Amino acid sequence: MTSNVHQLIDTLPKAELHLHIEGTLEPEMMLALAKRNKITLPYDTVEDVRAAYQFDNLQDFLDVYYLGMSVLIEERDFHDLTWAYLTKVHADGLTHAEIFFDPQAHMERGIAFETVLAGITSALEQAHRELGISSKLIMCFLRHLSEEEAFDTLACACKHKDHIFAVGLDSSEQGHPPEKFERVFAEARKEGFVAVAHAGEEGPPENVANSLDLLGVSRVDHGNSALKDAALTQRLAQQQTPLTMCPISNLRLKGIPDLSAAPVKKALEANLLVTVNSDDPSYFGGYLNDNYRAVADALTLTEPQIVTLARNSFKASFLEDSEKQTQLDRIDAQVARLRPA
């Protein structure tokens, strides 16, 4: 891969649309927060933590992920976590982020919904003031928990519509199909929330189709398996339904054997509105630009394809049309600056 492509990746404005804020907890911060909050972990050193980041599947990761977030207790912990992510990806050219958070995983530990939300939103507001990064917050339901618990969590979100833009669905896909949450999503949309959902990461194409038809999602998170179904692929292309793909995540969770099997290029060639994102970058070893560079190298993506991915990140976002156009114009200006005279 030419250095020109890497330079392009490093300097293009981008949005990230598939990012779990709890998945940005770096080992150093995990240990520091454990000490600050007097939480006992089964790890003594950063090396111990990183050694635990060897996963055979999604559930292996989730076990470590939920253990890691046990150190998040106070409002300032959630602020520090979110601010650390935003300052890191600001250097990657990030100008807009649509961030998932998992309140149920904290509430079942006795942490108040408002504590989690206040910490995250204070960092988002600081990033907007000081770094120029705009953001939307997406509250996810944990799909391994019950519909009843999801309804309780939705009730909490309804008190904070000024801060929460959308609802999502994450955690273990196997055994927890979209239809389990059809009623919750109908109520969420009625309350004015936009809907997204993880589908097609480990599950079949039917999970993608049912997320569209039963949950009413505006965007599909992952969506990899959709490309196994020609009719569904054609539908996604015609409707320009965004897919938020996460290549390094797929590799680390053994959803693909190597990055050359990542479906990003195939999705581009099928005219899908595909985006590249980092998912849980601390645990998977790659932030936003790492994912761009990894697929650029493995799939031999061209400079125009890289530009398309960056443009797609804003087209697929929940920004207002005028804001999208401002960001697209910034991409065009950067491409022009890099073009040889």
Tokens coding 53: 């980041």
Residue pair 12/334 in contact (Cβ under 8 Å)? The answer is: yes
Question: What is the rounded CA–CA span in Å between residue 199 and residue 25?
Answer: 24
**DSSP assignment of 33-91, as one string?**
HHHHTT---S-SSHHHHHHT---SSHHHHHHHHHHHGGG--SHHHHHHHHHHHHHHHHT
Active site residue 201: yes
Residues 6+ apart with CB under 8 A from 199: 169, 173, 178, 207, 208, 210, 211, 217, 220, 221, 222, 223
Query: Mapping DSSP to helix (H, G, I), strand (E, B) and coil, where does residue 57 land?
Result: coil
Question: What is the rounded CA–CA span in Å between residue 295 and residue 260?
Answer: 8
CA atoms within 13 A on the CB side of 328: 16
Tokens coding 333: 């200006």
Q: Write down the catalytic residue from 16, 75, 173, 201.
A: 201
> Catalytic residue positions?
201
